[in-house]
Structures are given as structure tokens and as C-alpha cells.
Amino acid sequence: MKLGFIGLGIMGAPMALHLINAGHTVYVSAARRVPDAIKASAAVPCATVQEVASHAEVVFLMVPDTPDVEAVLFGENGVAAALQAGGGERKVIVDMSSISPMATKAFAQKINALGADYIDAPVSGGEVGAKAASLTIMCGGEPAVFERVRPLLEKMGKNITLVGGNGDGQTTKVANQIIVALNIAAVGEALVFASKAGADPAKVREALMGGFASSRILEVHGERMIKRTFAPGFRIALHQKDLGLALQGARELGLALPQTAGAAQLMQVCAAHGDDQLDHSALVKALELMADHEIG
Amino acid sequence: MKLGFIGLGIMGAPMALHLINAGHTVYVSAARRVPDAIKASAAVPCATVQEVASHAEVVFLMVPDTPDVEAVLFGENGVAAALQAGGGERKVIVDMSSISPMATKAFAQKINALGADYIDAPVSGGEVGAKAASLTIMCGGEPAVFERVRPLLEKMGKNITLVGGNGDGQTTKVANQIIVALNIAAVGEALVFASKAGADPAKVREALMGGFASSRILEVHGERMIKRTFAPGFRIALHQKDLGLALQGARELGLALPQTAGAAQLMQVCAAHGDDQLDHSALVKALELMADHEIG
């Protein structure tokens, strides 16, 4: 198939390579940064995003944030300019970036009005998952459109779910990031309490596994806190952006997320101490700083 | 063996019955409430706790809170009075109540000074676990003493761990209750966000299972939130008491638990609306109230 891929960063480049290696013709924009691995591949450079979208049947986006998606879609020489030209088969835009669910709904409506389809498909699994083609992909959109792009998504991920209509993929990603952040804070507070009370946090963690306190975070991030292995993983700076989507979304939707707001502040304590490039399990360092006590 | 059991409430009565049914002679205090199931059993009534402790080699406590344990141990006609009398084999006090880790260390020292041993052994698993003899039991104390009482604990629970010295069992229980409360709040905020954003919370929960957001709480309590099955389970009022142990302990130890404090306040929102006898998964109702939106 003729595909487009916009956003060839740490995540996007290996994802695009999986599509290229599967034998698809992948158009990329030479007006944007093109990493060496893509230059050395069979990827076809185009002058602009508009040109990419004019060639491609399916255009993938993997850019940092909501304004970046907006610029790629509706900016000068963007995707929308190619759609307005019309002609050919109905195209699909697949946004794999993690952005605002509400903005996604608006973007999808505008793309639909231009005669194209839209799937929001944010991922979790990080750079490791992108390279291993083992990403979890949370999708929103029409079932028929989802089925059309599913074989392509399967080249990049393993656990691929259509949650509902447009925006629901992004909503699920936000929900995921809320739970992950709050579960990290939970394990952090429990282990700092246990350590300061004189117990061995490693033994406490073991005793809690298998009970109601058990979670993937207690398993993976609890161990990182105890072993002090804070190399990312998933960086605090990125999780801060995702909690920003949650808190801004809550404001737009009219709801309160007091615990998420608290966890975001703990990450800002880390950022204030220059730790925002560490793995998000390093949130425990904010609690340790506040307690003047390091666990273990 | 000759055993004592003080605290024959919803938890203590079925636990004592397991020991009686295993063929032990269990002494109980007739000065305290004795439920019919115990009256109908082979339990031996005594006039006071002191008399119970004078007969028993191992005395179990299962009372509501720190002052209750203190009263049973060191109050008038209490356990300590029997120990001061001396004579016979070295007795063991096994406190299965959920109380302050710091007070526990002080109690254990005083009991040791009277020539007896002490194990703190709080449980999780609730009334269901007490009846089914499937409690998780988190212990603190000397290994040799733990081994002496382990066969008795095995009549009441399944997952029995010696975490460390006296107090470490209670510390582990507090850590457990911190994580459980914060994971409930995490799932609550994620599902309220998802629902208010227009997604189906049941589908969002399913999409999140198996990823980094996965936890026993997402599995069990997430389902309760969606299905609105708030019959306890574990009551908010009891979890409020346990978070009180965490926050009071943090104050004594000199550390901050900002997320735990937040979750405790959400439980107080439930209590303010008369919901403190519901299961702790009903914490989501506080978030729903604040959002003026019910999930599902």
C-alpha cells in the first residue's frame, strides 16, 4: 500500500521502518527531520506533508502534542490541503500521537468533512515497544475504518483495541496515564512509609505482591525504586505532558481530578530538581526529598 | 494447645472458631461480648482477660484500634497482670488487630520486659477471608517465635509472611492500605474522566487490563464501580481508620503522604454523604459528586 508517515522521532522512526520492511511504499516529508535510518531505507521523500498526503492512502502521524497534530493536518501545505484537492480513493488519517481527546473529536470531524476517514490510535510501550513492534494501541473511530488499517497497526503493535468512536482512543490513553502515575505515587508513598518506619522495603513489597495491593507498577516500578534504577523507561517529562492532557481535559469537561493534580505536582518536584529526564518511577525521589529519607 | 482469643467480633469470631475446630482449647473473656457461635462451641469462658492470659500459652488479639490493644494488654485485669504473676512456659502475645506500628514496637518491648514474646500479625482479606481461613497475614517479630505460632496462623490464613522485627507486620499492613486506597482513587479518576469524555468505561477498563495500568484494584474494584455493586467488601469507615494510622504514623515518623491525605479526604466526602458503610470502591462516588456525573 501507499502510506505516509509524519513524525519520525524516537517512536515514529522505528514504527515507520516496520511498515517499510513489510513492503509498503512509505512517503515522508523532507521538509521535516528525516533520521538516517529512514534515509537509508526505501522511504520516498516528498517536498511537503501535503505531497505525502496526496500520494498516500493512509497517513500516520506520530508527533509530540495537540498543536503539532493541528499544524500537520490543517497548517500550510498540510494534510487537509491534499484532501481538498479531492480525487482517488477515500484516505485514512491515523493519529498515533498522544493528544487531547476533545481536540481529536474536532479534528476528526473536520477531516470527515473533507471526505476522509480518521482513527485516533495512541500507543503505550515506549521506545522499546516501538522497536519491538509490541506497542499497545488504543483506537477510536468507525469499525470499518479500523478494520481497514488494523493490518498496518499489527506491524507496529500487539495489543490493539477499538475502544469506541473518535477520541475514545485518546481518552483511554489519558486514563492509562492517570492510573500509571497514581499507582507509582501509591507504591512510592507505601515504600517511603515502610522504610522510614524501619522495615525493609524489598520485603514489604514482596509481602504485598499477590494481595489487593498487587499491580504491574508494584512489580516493575516498585523494584526500580528499591534498586534505584531510574534510567528511562518512560521519562517524567513525558508523563508530565500526559497529566497535562488529563488536567486540561478535566477542566474542559467540567470534572475534578484531585489525585492526578497531586501526582503532577510530585513530578514537578522532580523537575525542580533536574530529574525530569529520569524514569517516572523516580517520582519516589520527590517523596524522599520531602521526608528527608531515602528508601533502602 | 491452650490458647486465648480476645476480640470476638466479625473477624475474630470465625478466626477463633478455626482454632477451636482444630482441637485447641481456646479461653475467652466472659467480661467481653461473646457471640452465640462461640458460646455454642468448646470455648472456655473466663472472668477476665487476665484469667485468659494466665491459662493460655498463646494469646491472640483481634480488636479495633491501638487504644483497644493497649487496654487489653496493660489495662486493669489485662494480659500484663497475668504475665507479672510469672511461672510456666514463656507465653506469646499475637496481635492480629490493625494498629500503629510505632505503638506496636513499644507494646512489644513492654511485653518482652515481662518475660513474654510478641508477634504483630495484622491481616487482610476481610470477613470473607476470616470465614474461609484464607487471610493474608503480615507478621513482625523474632523468627523463632514466629515459627512457634505459624501452625496456629495457618489455621486462619494462607499467605503468611514474616516481614521483619516487631512493628514490621503493622507497617506492611499500613503500606497495603495506602496502596489499595490510592489505586482505588486512580481507577476512579480514570473511569470518571473516560465516562465524562464520552467513552464507555467498561471498554476503557478492558483495554487497560494487561498493560501497565493493570492491578487487582482495576480488576475487582473497577468492575464494582462500573456495575455499581457497592455492598461491602471492605467498608470505607474501616479504610478511613487505616489511612488515619498512615497519616498519624507519617506525622510521628516525620514524612509526608500527600496522595494518601488526598484519598482520605475523598473518603471523607463519602462519609459526609452517609456512604461510609459502603465498600471502599464507592470512593468513586466522591469523584462523581464533584464532577456532577455518574459513570456508566
Determine, for residues A164 and B200 on separate chains, whether the beta-carbon distance falls below 8 Å: yes
Q: Is B238 helix (H, G, I), strand (E, B) or coil?
A: helix
pLDDT single digits (tens) A76-116: 999 999 998 766 789 999 999 999 999 999 999 999 999 99
Strand B123-124 to B135-140 pairing: antiparallel
**B55 sits in which H/E element:** helix B49-55
CB-based contacts of A68-75 (< 8 A; 24+ apart in sequence): A68/A7, A68/A97, A69/A95, A69/A97, A69/A99, A69/A103, A69/A107, A70/A103, A70/A107, A72/A6, A72/A7, A73/A107, A73/A110, A73/A111, A74/A107, A74/A110, A75/A49
pLDDT of residue B252: 97
Residues 6+ apart with CB under 8 A from B92: B57, B58, B59, B116, B117, B118, B119, B145, B148, B149
- String of DSSP letters for B172-218: HHHHHHHHHHHHHHHHHHHHHHHHHTT--HHHHHHHHTTSTT-BHHH
Are B171 and A198 a contacting pair, CB within 8 Å? yes
Interface residue B184 vs chain A (CB under 8 A): no
Residues 6+ apart with CB under 8 A from A188: A225, A266, A283, A284, A286, A287
Q: Which of A102, A208, A256 sits opposite B179 (nearest CB)?
A: A208
pLDDT of residue B85: 72
pLDDT of residue A104: 98
Max Cα–Cα distance, chain A, nearest Å: 71
pLDDT band per the 50, 70, 90 thresholds, residue B87: low
Residues 6+ apart with CB under 8 A from A109: A166
Are A224 and A216 a contacting pair, CB within 8 Å? no
Could you give phi then psi for residue B205, rounded to 5 degrees? Answer: -60, -45
Q: Which A residues, 129 through 168, put their C-beta within 8 Å of a C-beta on chain B?
A: 136, 138, 159, 161, 163-165, 167-168
Rounded Cα distance, B104 and B108, in Å: 6
Contacts A124 to B, Cβ<8 Å: 211-212
Share of chain A above pLDDT 70, in %: 99
Q: Which of B230, B245, B235, B240 is nearest to B263 (CA)?
A: B240
Q: Which of A226, A232, A221, A210 is nearest to A182 (CA)?
A: A221
Rounded Cα distance, B22 and A235, in Å: 54
Residues 6+ apart with CB under 8 A from B206: A161
Rounded Cα distance, A270 and A275, in Å: 5
Determine, for residues A259 and B263 on separate chains, whether the beta-carbon distance falls below 8 Å: yes
Rounded Cα distance, B75 and B126, in Å: 28
pLDDT of residue B296: 75
Residue A296 pLDDT > 80, yes or no?
Answer: no
Q: Which of B99, B123, B172 to mutate to test the interface with A (most CBs of A within 10 A)?
A: B172
Determine, for residues A218 and B179 on separate chains, whether the beta-carbon distance falls below 8 Å: yes
Determine, for residues B291 and A211 on separate chains, whether the beta-carbon distance falls below 8 Å: no
pLDDT of residue A85: 72
Strand ranges, E, within B90-195: 92-95, 117-120, 123-124, 135-140, 157-164
Residue A52 pLDDT > 70, yes or no?
Answer: yes
Rounded Cα distance, A168 and A82, in Å: 26
Are A164 and B199 a contacting pair, CB within 8 Å? yes
pLDDT band per the 50, 70, 90 thresholds, residue B89: confident
Q: Which chain B residue's Cα is nearest to A221?
A: B212
pLDDT single digits (tens) A179-206: 999 999 999 999 999 999 999 999 999 9
Are B172 and A204 a contacting pair, CB within 8 Å? yes
Instruction: Tell me if residue A173 is catalytic.
Output: yes
Q: Which of A173, A196, A227, A241 is catalytic?
A: A173
Max Cα–Cα distance, chain B, nearest Å: 71
Are A22 and A38 a contacting pair, CB within 8 Å? no
Least confident of B92-96, B125-129, B142-146, B190-194: B125-129
Rounded Cα distance, A207 and A228, in Å: 20
pLDDT of residue B143: 98
Rounded Cα distance, B125 and B160, in Å: 12
Q: Which of B138, B159, B193, B209 to mutate to test the interface with A (most CBs of A within 10 A)?
A: B193
Rounded Cα distance, B238 and A38, in Å: 58
pLDDT band per the 50, 70, 90 thresholds, residue B176: very high
Q: Which chain A residue's Cα is nearest to B263?
A: A259
Rounded Cα distance, B121 and B60, in Å: 10
pLDDT of residue A57: 97
ipTM score of the complex? 0.96
Averaged over A1-7, what is the pLDDT? 98
Residue B221 pLDDT > 70, yes or no?
Answer: yes
Residue B276 pLDDT > 80, yes or no?
Answer: yes
pLDDT single digits (tens) A208-259: 998 999 999 999 999 999 999 999 989 999 999 999 999 999 999 999 999 9
Q: Which of A276, A28, A26, A41 is nearest to A155 (CA)?
A: A26
pLDDT band per the 50, 70, 90 thresholds, residue B210: confident
Interface residue B180 vs chain A (CB under 8 A): yes
B10 to chain A, minimum CA–CA distance in Å?
Answer: 20
Q: Which of A183, A199, A246 sits opposite B163 (nearest CB)?
A: A199
Q: Which of B173, B196, B203, B285 is catalytic?
A: B173
Residue A66 pLDDT > 90, yes or no?
Answer: yes
Could you give phi then psi for residue A27, rounded to 5 degrees? Answer: -90, 135
